[in-house]
Structure 1
């Protein structure tokens, strides 16, 4: 009797998706749902209005893959056909749902509708975004395209385009990418010549973004690094901003540590000189911008420009990793 009562109190959990290729992220969501209670998987039908850039396998094939996975785990779940985005989510019979960061906003809309109809909101178990070894989300589209396998392991080198011909920026990018990835292929293209000669504040971010937005070639990542002056608390700093855009269209930004600008440097800048010209004049060197950078001379050799490039790129990828952490429901 007690066992029957305990079984009847198990929460009923929902999980919806297309499951074109059953991969690591899907399995994590299924496993979470199974641990929470009695799982029902809503599987999109062949008539569902897909917004995919590939041909979705037939419903029966996708259902068989789910059944095989559950059977191999020794687990059970209900699989119901999903003809619309809501499925059974508005039914008071269900008490929880498994989510990713990508679907969380829609689930919040579902819970708003449930509250409006006097139904308790669904408890949300958010897995975040499961990233592959290339730090992009594991998705069926990318597996079908041949970028990664079902576990998120790369099947071919990560193709990176760096928008610069500056040797110091190339060196800094190589240092950062070698720390981030096991297998990548770096190529460089020249930047357009319509950038601000000495960007200030938001112009620095705009310059980095314009570099990657102009790329026409295929890539996994396009990277643009822009040096500029930003102000914090009344002090100006020379920093590097990296814009990292992936093949899915998402762009992340990162910023390096900064060189505080003294009065002499700012006077030169306000007179219309670029930082490289100011540094050359104050220190008595040539081409400081293309060599070790102003930071090298003013830090007494503790840092070079390549280190600022490295920091900005790693910072941008750090933002990407941080955004994969599960978001909380509002």
Structure 2
């Protein structure tokens, strides 16, 4: 028996996990549809890039020793060649109406009945349904807790926000993450000491009434045999204590370095040199240079975790 489940998985939360658990309880042959960035953005103002959403699902499967076929969907029905073989579609009670539409659509090209397995939506502390939007806006944690430690991130960049969420969850468990459009106070392309200054400024600007705030800034440094990218993270808490961390540095190719030295930002230089690279559009400079072996989220996690190390020692 083949079981299918689909969703945006904007931030993988307990509601999504309930759907996945139901699917695997019914069969070991599971296929998972994840909405494309285009489809997801039609109904949402903030959408994590597809690669981040897919990565989260794959990490969940790996952690639970599960395997599934994952595919991108660009409409509510999914690819006909895949859905033709599905026996059961797992849906939440909220998406039951759409599930019935999929049954009707499937009947137009297959005589085999498609069954629905309905999962009750997971609620957050106030009794309302948990949603990725609430999690992304800091209303609740991934598990629906509304009184978890609140941490601001001085950026609206979804890669940075998700990297902070992942690191802080490993340390504190449930966390509420608040993205803030903070200012770095440094040049668009930071060089040398501007980098850590920009990270500190972003953290301070984002703190407000939050328990803690995180600022992240990537800058370029003349080191060893060329121009290096070293990402810095600054974390400030409500007592005013600041801790700093760095990610692993990597050297830019000479042609990129020369463009940056002559006034272009790294983004402009990479765009001019690797304009058609799909990995780069999703995973940034490190995605291009490592050929997908390391992505921006992982690189950002390094700097955030390193900035938390002095706090872990103190605790």
Match of 1:274 among 257, 265, 286: 265
| Structure 1 residue runs of 4 or more that deviate by more than 4 Å after TM superposition | 286-290
Q: How many residues end up aligned between the 2 structures?
A: 171
d(CA) in 2 for partners of 1:219, 1:265? 39
Distance 1:211 1:193, change over 3 A: closer
More off after superposition, 165-174 vs 218-227:
165-174
Contact kept in structure 2, 1:159 and 1:220, CA below 8 Å: yes
* Deviation readout 1:232-255 (Å, 9 max, x if unpaired): 334321121100111111000010
Match of 1:219 among 210, 219, 238: 210
Counterpart secondary structure, 1:214 = helix
d(CA) in 1 for partners of 2:195, 2:301? 17
Distance 1:319 1:233, change over 3 A: farther
d(CA) in 2 for partners of 1:231, 1:293? 21
Q: Which runs of 5+ in 2 are unaligned?
A: 1-145
Q: Per residue, is there more helix in 1 or in 2?
A: 2
Name the counterpart of 2:282. Answer: 291
1:307-326 aligned within 5 A: 307-322=298-313, 324=314
d(CA) in 2 for partners of 1:201, 1:188? 26
Distance 1:254 1:173, change over 3 A: same
Name the counterpart of 2:117. Answer: none
Shift of 1:194: 4.0
Contact kept in structure 1, 2:280 and 2:288, CA below 8 Å: no
d(CA) in 2 for partners of 1:199, 1:287? 26
d(CA) in 1 for partners of 2:198, 2:278? 21
Distance 1:216 1:307, change over 3 A: closer
Contact kept in structure 1, 2:161 and 2:177, CA below 8 Å: no
d(CA) in 1 for partners of 2:295, 2:273? 17
d(CA) in 2 for partners of 1:256, 1:226? 11
Larger Rg: 1
- Say yes or no: does 1:169 pair with 2:169: no
Q: Which runs of 5+ in 1 are unaligned?
A: 1-154, 326-330
* Deviation readout 1:20-60 (Å, 9 max, x if unpaired): xxxxxxxxxxxxxxxxxxxxxxxxxxxxxxxxxxxxxxxxx
Name the counterpart of 2:194. Answer: 203
Distance 1:317 1:254, change over 3 A: same
